[in-house]
Structure 1
């Protein structure tokens, strides 16, 4: 059964447009309640980020869950990984997060966690979608669910994050923490401050409309300026729902998810705690793969999306994986990607090795990357199998052998085929990308003729 609403990270869309409407959220709450909480008195936790539309969807989901006989525990604004942790810690049957992650305020979404704090399986998502085709049937009034707020949710999560830091205190470090005016705006500064760091907080004044706007992990300019102005040791950038982390060095250079993955894997290798392969994605820089090979660290690539990274980690027995965008998973510290815990792991590695962040990332040299979006008429995916594209890709792979790599991907949201090439020489990357883009255009023209 194909899923109509669930994508790789829950359900997401423009507020007021299908599927993100009040009517849909009401039915989604009921459908999820019917599937995830089939026992009397079942509890579901609901958290959200700081979007103004979060109030609307929180109320609608709560009503739907109540109609299914589910008790709703409202957490208020909290990072996505906090909801995953609390769902497990409080022994709830499921957790719900209302967020569109790194998107701007006019988008919103809903994602679910199982009682174990894991993302739902495809099978459960399909079952929820099957209920969306039915009419809502309320349980009897005496069986309807109630709603209550968990007042100590933030404190519980702060203590969990602090417990994931195995180093000494952070005294002597000055950090700038950019919370993207999002879900971590209260808890993230508190975690680092309570561990002893001097914290300068930015992106901590949400008004419901400014989430991710020119701030956070998708816009590092404000963080770089603040690190320079305050002469900080490190800048930490989270996204709107707090599961991504990118960083800025004291010299103002950014550190992406691939470099963070390198730092964390190397630290575990040095401590003897690294297990299984490190899992990246098809978009992870080739320089990361080469750096791991040089240190004898096994590395595998999964499809884009942190759920696929997590699936591969569990299949291989690995503990460290992530994406270039800053979704980093440390299964020896948390069950899902967590921006705050990721930052703490980097700070822990700095402390244990006695090195700066700039020194920690020196062992990984990123290759220059060229990304071209080639517009096509109709569907892009069939072009990946076109003879012209396959032939040119084969020739480019031979030409780049040992010096780089290529990736061709059809966009899932627009009629575009993405051409990505990495090579030691940026001129080689440009030439290879243009060759492939030309082949795509020729194949598209031939297919349309």
Structure 2
């Protein structure tokens, strides 16, 4: 059955347009309450990032849950992985996050966690979709759900993050932490400070409209400049809901998600703690695969999207996976991608080995990779299925041969077609990507 509302990471869209309207949010809360929370006294936890629209959607979801007879614990602004953690810690039937992750403020979304802090299965999401189309029937007045604030939610999550770092500390390190004016603007700096680091926080003054705006993991210029200005040892860049993390070293060199995954995998291997294959995606750099092969570590590719990385990890018994965008999953520490926990795992390797980020990632040689995003107004699938695009893709694959890879796909979170070409030569990757993108551009006209 095809999905009408849910994408690869919940329901997402431009606020005020279908499906991100208050009416839909109310119905979504009711439908999710009916599906996820069985029996009286059922409870969900709800967190959000710093978008102004979060207040509106939170209120609508709360009303929907109440109509379904579900109690709601409101966590306030909190990273997505913090909601996942508190879903388990508070023994709720479900966790709800109001966020559009790395998107601009005018977008928002709603995603769910099950009682184990993991993403919902496709079957459950489809069941919620079916319920959305059903007439909303409110429970009896004496069975209506209530809502309350959880005042210590941030403190609980901070302690959880610190607990993933082990017995070490960060004394003597100066870190820049870019919070993307998002959900981690308080908890992010606090975690690293409480572990002993001197922290320079940027992107920590959200106003509801500046989330991800020129800052965070999608705009590394801000953290690079701050590392240089303050003479920091390294910089950590989170995204709007803090489930992603990218880093820069003292010289401003970028450390992407593939390199981060390599660093953590090598550290786990050295400690005798690595189990199962490391899982990336179709977008993961070929250098990650080759670097892990040199360590005799199996590497597997999933479809793009952290939910598919998670599915393959569970299927294969793996514990580490991630994407080049910085969404890294450490199942030996938590249940979902967590930018703060990810940074702590890299820092643990750096502190434990007394090495810088470039040294830690030295065993992985990145292949030049070119990614071009093309906006689409209609169905991306129709453009990708056109004979002109298929022929152009086949010709590019044939021309590259063993020297590179091609990936052409529709984004699961934005109205975009992504054209990716990877090759052993940067000029070849660039020309091949431009040629393929031109074919896609002509087909979408």
Same fold (TM over 0.5): yes
Taking the aligned partners of 2:438 and 2:228, their CA distance within structure 1 comes to: 43
**Partner of 1:342 in structure 2?**
342
Q: Say whether 1:420 aligns with 2:420.
A: yes
Distance 1:338 1:410, change over 3 A: closer
Q: In structure 2, which of residues 385, 396, 399 is the aligned counterpart of residue 396 of structure 1?
A: 399
Q: Say whether 1:380 aligns with 2:365.
A: no
**1:229-260 CA-partner distances (Å, limit 9, x unpaired):** 11001101111111000011000111110110
Q: How does 1:67-82 map to 2 (within 5 A)?
A: 67-82=67-82
Superposition deviation, residue 365 in structure 1: 1.5
**1:136-186 CA-partner distances (Å, limit 9, x unpaired):** 111111111111111111111011001000241110010011111111111
Structure 1: which 5+ residue stretches go unaligned?
none
Q: Contact 1:80–1:242 (CA<8 Å) still a contact in 2?
A: yes
**Partner of 2:29 in structure 1?**
29
Q: How does 1:263-342 map to 2 (within 5 A)?
A: 263-342=263-342
**Partner of 2:209 in structure 1?**
209
Q: Contact 2:216–2:237 (CA<8 Å) still a contact in 1?
A: yes
User: Once superposed, what is the RMSD of the aligned Cα atoms?
Assistant: 2.2
Q: How does 1:10-89 map to 2 (within 5 A)?
A: 10-89=10-89
Taking the aligned partners of 1:312 and 1:383, their CA distance within structure 2 comes to: 30
Superposition deviation, residue 390 in structure 1: 6.2
**Partner of 1:92 in structure 2?**
92
Superposition deviation, residue 436 in structure 1: 4.7
**1:399-419 CA-partner distances (Å, limit 9, x unpaired):** xx1x33222334568897644
Taking the aligned partners of 2:421 and 2:243, their CA distance within structure 1 comes to: 28
Q: Contact 2:9–2:307 (CA<8 Å) still a contact in 1?
A: yes
Look up the SS of the partner of 2:362 in the other structure. Answer: helix
Q: Say whether 1:237 aligns with 2:237.
A: yes
Q: Contact 2:97–2:110 (CA<8 Å) still a contact in 1?
A: yes
Superposition deviation, residue 104 in structure 1: 1.2
Taking the aligned partners of 1:429 and 1:97, their CA distance within structure 2 comes to: 38
Q: Contact 1:388–1:440 (CA<8 Å) still a contact in 2?
A: no
Taking the aligned partners of 1:102 and 1:441, their CA distance within structure 2 comes to: 25
Superposition deviation, residue 359 in structure 1: 1.1
Look up the SS of the partner of 1:63 in the other structure. Answer: helix
Distance 1:141 1:235, change over 3 A: same
TM-score by length of 1: 0.93
**Partner of 1:429 in structure 2?**
429
Superposition deviation, residue 269 in structure 1: 1.0
- Which has the greater radius of gyration? 1
**Partner of 2:253 in structure 1?**
253
Look up the SS of the partner of 1:363 in the other structure. Answer: coil
Taking the aligned partners of 1:385 and 1:297, their CA distance within structure 2 comes to: 39
Q: Contact 1:238–1:339 (CA<8 Å) still a contact in 2?
A: yes
Structure 2: which 5+ residue stretches go unaligned?
none
Superposition deviation, residue 433 in structure 1: 3.7
Look up the SS of the partner of 1:75 in the other structure. Answer: strand
Between 1:429-438 and 1:131-140, the stretch displaced more is 429-438
Taking the aligned partners of 2:197 and 2:374, their CA distance within structure 1 comes to: 46
Taking the aligned partners of 1:204 and 1:390, their CA distance within structure 2 comes to: 43
Superposition deviation, residue 424 in structure 1: 1.9
Q: Contact 1:167–1:351 (CA<8 Å) still a contact in 2?
A: no
TM-score by length of 2: 0.94
